[in-house]
Structure formats: structure tokens, C-alpha cells
Structure 1
Amino acid sequence: MSRSIDLLKKRYLENIKEKPDLFVGIELEYPVINLEGKASDIEVVKDLFRYLPSVLGFTIEKVDDFGNPIQLLDPVSQDTVLFEVSYTTIEFAFGRAESIQEVEKRFNFYMGMIQKKLGEANHAIIGSGIHPYWEKNENQPVAYARYQMLMAYLNLSRSKTNIDLHDYPQYGAFICGSQVQLDVSKSNYLRVINAFNQIEAAKAFLFANSEFSGEDWDTKISRDIFWEESMHGIYPENVGVNAKLFKDEADFFDYLNHSAIFTAERDGETYYFYPIRAKDYLGIPEIHAFALDGEEILLYPQEEDFQTHRSYQYQDLTTRGTIEFRSVCTQPLDRTFASTAFHLGLLLHLDKLEAYLRTAPFFTTVGRDYKFLRRQFSKKQLTDEEETAIVEFSKALLLLAEEGLEKRGKQEMAYLQPLRDKLGL
């Protein structure tokens, strides 16, 4: 086995338990808008982060280069409220919970405080996968090394003239997603990745919420294009829907070995460089890298650099023994937890889900190119035939998710109601 695969296995398999308890981990990102339709005032949002610790009892976990709080932690629940890439995006990363209701209760409490405070300055959080006034904002990264590195790395696309990438390397500052992490075991993590990879078309149909005003793209999920046609997507294995289902663990890690490493730390400084496949990384004698101020430097690959490896697949195996489902746009505020309930219910019914997917009529009609299907069923207009096929497929999945939640016995089925309404059930 290659050394790179060894290192990837160590990173991603170390914390997977054989029989984990099932907890729910939820991360929600939101744009903060100026209600007058102007650029968001980042001083208003910075001021919010100075105010929140006093009313919520959170501690300040991280500050930016100027001493402004950018990440707040509740020591009891382990909930975190932070800036995600820019000062106009707020993320709620909830500590692991036993039920969706627990998270919803805390979310509503935080939102009540936050919306009231933002409202005093005519600002608000809204449930959208893209900042509606992205064009008016500065779209600068938070003054913090990791975010500055990410934006600078994405900006390398401007010098990649031979590859067809979009013209919005600053997109990290204005797209927002809704992620859920669920515990998996050594024996089922690959099954989970494969099963959920097959349902991306339905998720595109059910959860699309990021139409982009800057281009005439025929999609309701511009986030997909931003990710895939940016520096993150130079190697297709690095991002989005997996191109294939995995036969076994070796097959999966071979795929992960084709994903990218693009950043490294030396003596507390963060550097970035053109992406290098994990499999090639240790064999490269030297790397032309950039410091955050743009200065060029030569780096020599080290095994420790695999500790910052991060792929952006939509079914993402994390270092915490969970799968993170990352393909859903931020949802309207009245359906915040529908996506969580959908994923959770299907995971609880994994055997039935797999059995259904083996013979689902949907795939007989449209084929099994999962990457293509995700893009196809996020289009703004579907044909009657496509609409019929995707609605039937989504209904079958929704019923499985409901059964799974019912079996779990925590009264979480109500969160699926917005999806029932959309599908006319």
C-alpha cells in the first residue's frame, strides 16, 4: 500500500467506532443582509459578535487579526457561533445532539437574540443559499489565516488560463450551506457513502435554493458550479458527487488518493499552492508555494501535511467518525431542519434504502450517471417526464425517511412536512 493511502487511512479511520451511538451534528450557514438592499455593514455584524457573549454566556474562542471575536463557544452544549469565510456569513455549528428538537430549541433561542440585535441596525439573517446582495458586498475574507488562505487559493484560478473555471473566486464569501453529520461505523460507512451518492438528484430537486443572479446558469444550485468549476474542482475526485460507487475500502481510498492537497503549515505560518493529488504529494521534491502576503517560497512535502488534507465530496468521511452530508443549500427559515430529518431517517433505514435503490424505476428511466443526474435535476425547468420521474423517486425516499424516523421513536417526522407539501403528499 502506498504511504499516502496509509496516511489518509490514519486520518479518516482512526476515530470510527465499531458500534457508535447515533448522534446528530448540524451546521447551518446564513447570509446577513441589509434590509435596505444595500451592502451588508460588516461593522454591524462584528458588533453582534461583541454583544453575544454577554447575553448568551458564550466564551470567545477565536479572534481575528484585529482582536474582533469571530468564534463563540457555549461551554455547556459545545455549540459554536462563528463567521464562515466572510463577515457577512454566520454559521451555527451545534454540539452533537440526541434529537433534532434539542438543536431546534437552541437555534430558535439564538436566532431570537441575533435577529433582534441585527434588526436594530436594519439587518437580518435570511434562509438563502446565496447572499442576494453578493455584488454589493466587499466579499473579503475574515482577517484570520485559514480564511485568508482559502480565498487566496481560490484566487489562483485567475492565473489558470488553460482551464475553464468560473469568474467568481470570491464565491466562498457569499454561498451558504446546510450540513448534517451522522455517526457511522467501520462496517457501514462505505455503504452510507454509496447509498447517499445515488440520491443526489432527489436532493437537488428537494433542496435547491441558490439561484445566482450574476450569470444565466440553468441551475437552481449555483453552489455546485462554484465548487466544481473553481480551484477546488481541478481534480474531480476532490469535490461534489462521486463519479462511481465504491467496491470496497481499497477502492474508496484509491479515489481519495486522487483528491487534492493545496495547503501546508510551517512554523505557525499558513501557505498555499496549486493543488497536488495526494498520491503524488510525497514524491514531489519541492513545491512552489505562496505565503498569505503573496510572497513565493519553496516548501518540501512532509507527511504531517496530510493532517490538513480536506476533500469536499458531498458524502464526506470526516476525521470525527461521521459522514458529513454537504450538498444542501441553506434552506428557507421555515424548513431549516427538513434536510437533517431526511438524511437521518434514511440512514436509520439503510438496508431498505439500499434495496430500493437497486431496482428504483427512476434509474431505469434516466440512467445512473450520478454526477450528471445531480446537475440535470437542479435545472430551472424540467420536462414533464423528468418532473414525473423525480417526484416519484423523491416520494419513495421521503416515505423511507419517515419510516426510519418513526422507528427511531423521537417524534422527528414533523420536520419532513415541508417536503411532503412540496411533493403533494
Structure 2
Amino acid sequence: MKIYDLDEALYNKYIAPTKKDRGASIGIEIEMPVVDISGKAVDEATVLSIADRFREHFRFEITNSDDNGNVNSMTHEETGDNLSFDCSYSNLELSMGKSDDLNILHKRFLKYYNYLQELFRPFGYTLTGMGINPHYNINTNRPVPNERYRMLYHYLHSYRRYEGDIGRHFHDRPDFGTFTSASQVQLDVSHDDLIETLNVFTLLEPYKALLFANSYLPEFPDYLCARNMLWEHSMQGYNPHNIGMFTDKLHSVDELIEYIKSQSIYCTMRDGKYIDFKPVSVRDYFELEKVSGEYFDGSSYRSTTFSPECCDLQYLRTFKFEDLTFRGTIEYRSSCCQPISDVMTVAAFHTGLSIKLDELKELLDKDRVIYSHGYSPAELQDMLSKRELPKFLDRDGLRSQLEAILDIAASGLKERAKNEEHFLAPLYDRAEKLTNPAKEMLEGLEQGIPMTQFIEKYSRI
């Protein structure tokens, strides 16, 4: 594929959809750990049987099954709501079909959540609102047996081959995808606001880390939000442009396209089989004659070579905190799953702020609370993901700035006139106390409160 053809293909995939006339709809994805309260590994057969009962009760249609014939994705035809399993059968995801009203989405979520909890309860199981499955070292952490997750598991475990390639450290938990849970929201973005939205929300990431951290992992004790670090220091972060934040301010759509060209492809499909390979930038990939990779033949992995094709662009999968999608939306990916009582905070926060982009930009452009100490947004995001806040940050200033950000979000929600601003209430409390769910849990554990109490607390509506 010639360079000018690649530019056009990227423009058509990512930029052109932002020019289409669309409603201001919201898409929400909530991943939740499945936990056996007794402390045993989750039985996958039990989880699958409950998913089947859920499908029959709500009349969801089968959209995907694993290699053993088990249904692992189902969708309600009318609403577009979906139940699936993200990476493993101990990580259940509810994706809500698009709506323009957070209250409607919340009501549908609770209907599904309550029914699932009724089904799980007799088995001593529960869903809970944590970004790390509290039994991550007890569960089997096996990938869902299908092409995509088997490939991803294999690719993430290939990190030892490439440790000498880049000056970054890979952690030793390549199975992290099976036990990490996110709360993600997709919002339509207009062409005129695209670049500004990416720039402004990048500056917001350090404050988000402080508000939404909920993925403490004892193996990385400094972090209250280990989930993002796990992505960044894995094969997903082999190319830093595939993960995390935009390190430089974007000035134009042309710059954004050049950035996308610098991101890496690491998988594609041929004859119904996923092939994974050493990451190569989009810019270079389509100039290659042959690519060497591996695929699963049903019993083991085999080496193969293939030629790049234009359709391979659909397998460019990145995990930016602000990820532009082919739907003309920005997917905000950096937030952990929240306690179920606060489950709508992530969506409400981003929705309100997107309405007041100019006000948010002005606040962050003038910020001297965190952006006056010589650190980049990415460095600050990492610092504010940790338990101990940097000593150079003024605590009162942090509280005031967080509250100012929340006031802008509330103003945006009020402008929508759908009575959605009440979803922000838990965040005001966190801002006042400079706390988050992970910090609250860790402090409780150190005071002798058992983990089971937090599993139960974070599962309450």
C-alpha cells in the first residue's frame, strides 16, 4: 500500500466518521470481576450456565460462541445491550447500547446486574466493582477459548523474546487481561472538536487517576491504579504510541494521522486464524513484502509468513487513554471498574466535561496546581496513580482543582437537562478527602478489615 493510499485509508477509517451528522449518544462498557466469596477459583461451567439463563430470561441473541460451543457474547436486538466475557470467564462485561440519557442506561444496567446477582448468590458467587479481581491469584486466569483471546494471551506471553529490543521493563504478569476490569465510555466527537478533545482530556488524566483509582495489586504496592501500568509495561506497550497518553500536543488532523501511522500492528487474520507477530508500525507494515508470525492450528502454534493486505488495517488495536474509534467516537479507557454504587460516575464525568470542553480547556491551560513543577502529563498521571502523592503538590490546591473540574462536569450535565448530575456526588466526596476506592480499600485492609467485606461493599448498589 502506497503512503498516499495509507493516508486516505486512515482518514476514511478514523476521521471521516467524525464529519457525519450523529446524535449525542453515549456508549458504556462495564467489566466486573466474578468472585467466589469462599475464596475458591471460579468454576467456569457455573458462570457459563448463569450466562445462558440470563440470555433466555432477557431474550438476548447469540453473537459469539467459544471453540467449545459456549456462548460468550449475546446482544439484545432492540436496545443493543450486550453481555460478554472480556478475556476470561471470571471477567463479565455489560455493554449498554447507545442512549442519550444516563438514567436510562443506569436503569437497564441495574436490571441486568440484579438478575445476575440473584443467579450467582446460590453458588456463593458475586459480581463486584473492582479494577482487579481480588482472587486474581486463585482463579485459573485462562483466556476464553476463541481465536481472539487465545491470540492475545499468546502475544502477551511472548514478551521475553523482545525484552532486549526496547529500553522499557516488561512486568511478569502477562495474564493481566484475565483479571483486570475497566469502566469505559464512548462519546461521539465532532470533526471540529476532535483535536481539542484529545489534547484537553490528555491534560485531565492525572486528575482522573486520583479520582478513579481502583486496581490495587500487591505485586506492585506503590500503585492504586495498577491496571494502566500493567497495559503499558506489557507487549501492548512495546510501542509506547499504542498505549497511554499522547505525549505531545496535537495541532491538526494531519498530525493525528501521522501519529496513527506510528502505531503498531501486531496481529491479523488469514483463513479464519489469528496470526500474531512482532509489532511493526503501520507506516512500515504496508511496505513489507512478507511478515513472519505464528498461529494456532488447533493443537499447537505454527510459524507462517504472509503478505500484508489493505484489510489488515482493521486489526490495528490500540489502548490509548483517549482512543479514536472507527465509529466517530472517542473511547475513554483509563478508568478502572468502580464500586457498583458509583458505577455511572465515569460516564457522567466524561459526558458532562465533553459538553463544556472550552471551560475545561481554560481551567487546565491555567492550571498551576500540578502543571507548574516541570513534569509532563504522563509523568504526573503515573505519580497520581500511586498511593503516596508527590510532596510538592499542595493538598488544598488539589481539592480545589478537583472540585472545579467536577463543577464543570456538573454544569455540562445540567445543560443536558436530564437530571444526570446526581451521578457525580461520590466524586465530590472523593475530591474532598483526596481518596479513591483503592485507597479506601487498602487503608481498611491495613486496619484488619477482611477483603470479603470490601468485595461485598463494592458489590452493593
TM-score, normalization by structure 1: 0.97
Aligned to 1:165, which of 162, 165, 170? 170
Structure 1 position 23 matched with structure 2 position 25:
yes
- Which of 381, 393, 404 aligns to 1:396? It is 404
Q: Distance in 1 between matches of 2:265 and 2:286?
A: 11
Deviation (angstroms), 1:383: 4.4
Is the aligned partner of 1:382 residue 2:389? yes
8 Å Cα contact 2:37/2:126 also seen in 1:
yes
Tell me the CA shift for residue 283 of structure 1: 1.4
Indicate which of 350, 355, 362 corresponds to 1:348: 355
Q: What CA distance in whole angstroms lies between the structure 2 residues aligned with 1:165 and 1:393? A: 34
Read off the aligned partner of 2:145 and give its amino acid letter. Answer: A
Structure 1 residue 33, shift from structure 2 partner:
0.4
CA shift, 1:389, in A, is: 3.8
| Residue among 287, 290, 295 paired with 2:302 | 295
Cα distance, 1:2 vs. partner? 4.1
Q: Do the aligned partners of 2:220 and 2:226 also contact (CA within 8 Å) in 1? A: no
1:301 and 1:59 map into 2 onto residues whose CA distance is 34
**Other-structure match for 1:360:** 367
- Which of 326, 332, 350 aligns to 2:333? It is 326
The 3-state SS of whatever aligns with 1:130 is coil
Q: Work out whether 1:257 is the aligned partner of 2:261.
A: yes
**Distance (whole Å) between structure 2 residues aligned to residue 384 and residue 236 of structure 1:** 28
Q: How does 1:203-352 map to 2 (within 5 A)?
A: 203-213=208-218, 215-292=219-296, 293-352=300-359
CA positional deviation for 1:11: 1.6
Structure 1 distance, partners of 2:259, 2:83, is 33
Number of corresponding residues: 424
Task: Tell me, yes or no, if the aligned pair for 1:239 and 1:311 is still in contact at 8 Å.
Answer: yes
The one of 411, 420, 430 equivalent to 1:422 is 430
Q: Which residue in the other structure is 2:456 paired with?
A: none
Take 1:371 and 1:344, find their aligned partners in 2: how far apart are those partners? 23
**Counterpart Cα distance in 1 of 2:384 and 2:49:** 41
Query: Which letter does structure 2 place at the counterpart of 1:391?
Result: R
TM-score by length of 2: 0.89
Counterparts in 2 of 1:384 and 1:395: CA distance versus 1, 3 Å: farther
Does structure 2 conserve the Cα–Cα contact (< 8 Å) formed by 1:5 and 1:279? no
Q: Deviations for 1:325-375, whole angstroms, at most 9, x for unmatched residues?
A: 000000011110011111011000011111222212224433451110100
Q: Deviations over 1:120-156 (max 9, x none)?
A: 1110100000111111111111111111111111111
**Deviations 1:23-68, CA, capped at 9 Å, x for gaps:** 1110000010001112111111111112112211112221111111
Partner of 2:53: 51
Specify the code of the residue in structure 1 equivalent to 2:222.
Answer: D
| Residue type of the alignment partner of 1:400 | I
Write the distance in 2 (CA, Å) between the matches of 1:161 and 1:310: 21
Correspondence for 2:191: 186
Instruction: Find the counterpart in structure 1 of residue 201 from structure 2.
Output: 196
Answer yes or no: is 1:14 the counterpart of 2:21: no
TM-fit CA distance, 1:18: 4.5
Local SS of the residue matching 1:131: coil
Partner of residue 110 from structure 1, selected from 109, 112, 119: 112
What amino acid does structure 1 have at the position aligned with 2:126?
A: A
Unaligned runs of 5+ in 2: 434-461
Note if contact 2:28-2:186 (Cα within 8 Å) is conserved in structure 1.
yes
Which residue type is aligned with residue 57 of structure 2?
V
2: CA distance, partners of 1:136 / 1:280 = 42
- For residues 66-110 of structure 1, give each alpha carbon's deviation from its aligned partner in whole angstroms, at most 9, with x where no partner exists: 111111111110100001110110001111011110111011110
Q: Please give the alpha-carbon distance, in whole angstroms, between the structure 1 residues aligned to 2:87 and 2:390.
A: 37
Q: How big is the shift at 1:15?
A: 2.2
Same amino acid, percent of matched pairs: 31
SS in 1 for 2:224: coil
Return the alpha-carbon distance in structure 2 between the equivalents of residues 87 and 97 of structure 1. Answer: 27
Is 286-295 or 314-323 further displaced after alignment?
A: 286-295
Q: Say which SS state the counterpart of residue 175 (structure 1) adopts.
A: coil
Aligned mates of 2:86, 2:7 — CA distance in 1: 30
Q: Contact between 2:189 and 2:328, CA under 8 Å: does it hold in 1?
A: yes
SS of 1:168's equivalent?
coil
Contact in 2 for aligned 1:315/1:325 (Cα 8 Å): yes
Code of the residue aligned with 1:190 in structure 2: it is I
Q: CA deviation at 1:196?
A: 0.4
Deviations along 1:142-193, one digit per CA (max 9) or x if unpaired, are: 1111111111111111322315201011111000100000011111111111
Provide the C-alpha distance between the structure 2 equivalents of 1:88 and 1:17, rounded to a whole number of angstroms: 39
Instruction: Describe the SS at the equivalent of 1:403.
Output: helix
Cα drift, residue 21 of structure 1: 1.6
Structure 1 gaps of 5+ residues are none
Write the distance in 1 (CA, Å) between the matches of 2:376 and 2:177. Answer: 28
Question: Structure 1 stretches (4+) deviating beyond 6 angstroms?
Answer: none
CA distance in 2, matches of 1:93, 1:367: 39
Return the match for 2:70 from 61, 65, 68.
Answer: 68
